[in-house]
Amino acid sequence: MSGRITRDEAAHVARLARLRFSDEEFDELATQLSAVLDHAADVEALDVTDIAPTSHPHPLVNVTRADEVRPSLDRDEVLAQAPSVDDGQFRVPPILGEAP
């Protein structure tokens, strides 16, 4: 198995994805993700520069609707599912300060 993803890279990606792993988990992930990327070598090796990308199976243009007022979700019902609520709003820990 090639080491396509190093532990440092895995740690960087984990920071981007807001996930935390133990040393053991990082070792396993690096191996498993490298195996998937090895399999993807067939795609990586293709010369497809002249082919346009398809991000969606149907060619969609902007889908719009009439700008009309319509009912939205019930606020109390939505807030009832939140982990923490204060005065009709979602409550979170401080967002300023040092990032992890």
Partner 1 sequence: MTALGIAAVVKSGERTALDVVDEHLARISQRDAEIGAFNLVLADEARTAAREVDAAVSRGDAVGPLAGVPVALKDNLCTRGVPTTCSSRMLEGWRPPYDATVVQRLRAAGAVIVGKTNLDEFAMGSSTENSAFGPTRNPHDTERVPGGSSGGSAAAVAAGFAPLALGSDTGGSVRQPAALCGVVGLKPTYGAVSRYGLVAFASSLDQIGPMAANVADAAACFEAISGHDPLDSTSIDGARDPVVAGLGQGVDGLRVGLVAELCAGSARLQDADGLDGVSAVEGVAADVIARVDAAATALEAAGAAVTVVSVPSAVLGLSAYYLVAPAEASSNLARYDGVRYGLRVDAANAAEMNVNSRTAGFGAEVKRRIMLGTYALSAGYYDAFYGKALRVRTLMLREFAAAYAGVDVLLGPTAPTTAFELGAKTADPLLMYLNDVCTIPSNLTGHPAVSVPFGGGDDGLPVGVQLMGPALSEPVLLRAAAVLEQAAPSGGGAP
Chain residues that interact with partner 1, rule: CB under 8 A: 5, 9-10, 12-14, 16-21, 29, 32-33, 35-37, 39-44, 46, 48, 51-58, 60, 63, 65, 73-74, 77-78, 80-84, 90, 92-100
The alpha carbon of 66 is separated from its chain's Cα centroid by a whole number of angstroms, namely 31
Q: How far is the CB of 57 from partner 1 (least distance, A)?
A: 2
Least separation in angstroms between residue 28's CB and partner 1 is 9
Residue nearer to partner 1 on the CB measure, 46 or 69 = 46
CA dist list (Å): 25 to 5, 21, 34, 62: 14, 6, 14, 42
- Do you know the residue count of the chain? 100
φ and ψ of 89, to 5 deg: -135, 160
